[in-house]
Chains A and B, each alone.
Chain A
Amino acid sequence: MQTLTQKLANPTRFMQLSGTMLPWIAGAAAVIIAYGLYLVFAVSPPDYQQGETVKIMYIHVPSAWLAMMAYGLVAVSSFGLLVFRHPLADVSAKAAVPIGAAFTFLALFTGSLWGKPMWGTYWVWDARLTSVLILFFLYLGLMALRSSMDDESTAAKLTAVLALVGVAILPIIKFSVDWWNTLHQPSTGFTSTVDPSLRVPLLIMALGFTLLFFAMHLKAMRNEILRRRVKAMRVADIAHRDGMSALSNPVAG
């Protein structure tokens, strides 16, 4: 594994490898999600308790899973940047944050739409919804912090520090929200175990969403590498022109 990450430290090699992998991952994601949707709409039965609204689960649960997994990926990448100074670590962290935030938003949005028929209201201060909402705020903080700095390398390291602080605090936030919820609310009766006929489509959708996430993450990383390349070339171009003018004007040199 160490040798793989070392190999990938070369952006050119990463571009080659990711270029060949990306179509396969994207294709697999499309096929698996299509099969999952077929199972969801044509095969899977309605839940005896929730009726057809259980169909929201097949997109809500994978979104929530990706919201957390993306934050984990951001945290691992931040660790890789601060500790190992891996050249692609920040590219990975920067690429994962907006995608993770998008899935966090989807988890909240679909959760709220699921809540209306189930609980009779769009928003309840359910422990899980509340935790995901705070996770969403952390994503927003990461994006805002990065955009507030002009120097990219400083912004990258500061964002990494915040991501790691978030990882340290998140379990405490989760714990306190659970505590707070049991203190104020009766259980929402949402804990029934999932029947196998519902579980198989759910797992397939989760797999498809995960592959989709990795395809988007790879693409975002490739874009970011290109963006940095363009930026470096523009700087080199300007430096080159300054060098030329310095040659023609010896006093300035």
Chain B
Amino acid sequence: MSIFDLGPHATFIWLSYIAVVIVITGLISWLIFDGQRQRAALKDLEDRGVRRRSSVSSDTGQNQ
């Protein structure tokens, strides 16, 4: 008997596994994409010379 011979209900088994694969890869790729987007936004702001609140307040206190 072959490994992938799953009997009369093979469709249901494959559908379940495919659904899990789709949802999990969807989640993972969204997480990676979202992370890249935030990093790009952060880098863009840093390149424009914007610094984080903590560092801004320590040098001039301008935004207090």
Q: Do chains A and B touch in the complex (CB under 8 A)?
A: yes
Binding site for B on A (CB under 8 A): 41-42, 46, 51-53, 55-56, 59-60, 63, 98-99, 102, 105-106, 109-110, 113-114, 116-117, 212, 216, 219-220, 222-223, 226-227, 229-230, 232-234, 236-237, 239-240, 243
How far, in angstroms, from A60 to B64 measured CA to CA in the complex? 53
Q: Knowing A110-B20, A226-B35 are in contact, say whether A240-B41 is a contact too (CB < 8 A).
A: no
Asked if B50 and A240 sit within 8 Å, CB to CB, the answer is: yes
Across the A-B interface, the 7 shortest Cβ-Cβ residue pairs: A226-B38, A52-B7, A117-B9, A110-B16, A52-B6, A239-B63, A237-B50
Q: Knowing A46-B7, A109-B16, A226-B38 are in contact, say whether A237-B31 is a contact too (CB < 8 A).
A: no
Q: How many A-B residue pairs have CB under 8 A?
A: 103
Asked if B27 and A102 sit within 8 Å, CB to CB, the answer is: yes
Query: Which residues of A sit under 8 angstroms from B35, Cβ to Cβ?
Result: 219, 222-223, 226
How far, in angstroms, from A46 to B3 measured CA to CA in the complex? 11
**How many chain-B residues does the 8 Å CB contact rule pick out?**
35
The dominant DSSP class at the B interface is helix
Asked if B16 and A113 sit within 8 Å, CB to CB, the answer is: yes
Asked if A52 and B9 sit within 8 Å, CB to CB, the answer is: yes
Q: Knowing A59-B17, A110-B19 are in contact, say whether A117-B12 is a contact too (CB < 8 A).
A: yes
Asked if B52 and A113 sit within 8 Å, CB to CB, the answer is: no
Asked if A42 and B52 sit within 8 Å, CB to CB, the answer is: no
Asked if B9 and A223 sit within 8 Å, CB to CB, the answer is: no
Q: Shortest beta-carbon distance, B51 to chain A, in Å?
A: 8
Q: Shortest beta-carbon distance, A143 to chain B, in Å?
A: 14
Query: Which residues of A sit under 8 angstroms from B32, Cβ to Cβ?
Result: 219
How far, in angstroms, from A239 to B60 measured CA to CA in the complex? 13
Query: Which residues of A sit under 8 angstroms from B17, Cβ to Cβ?
Result: 59
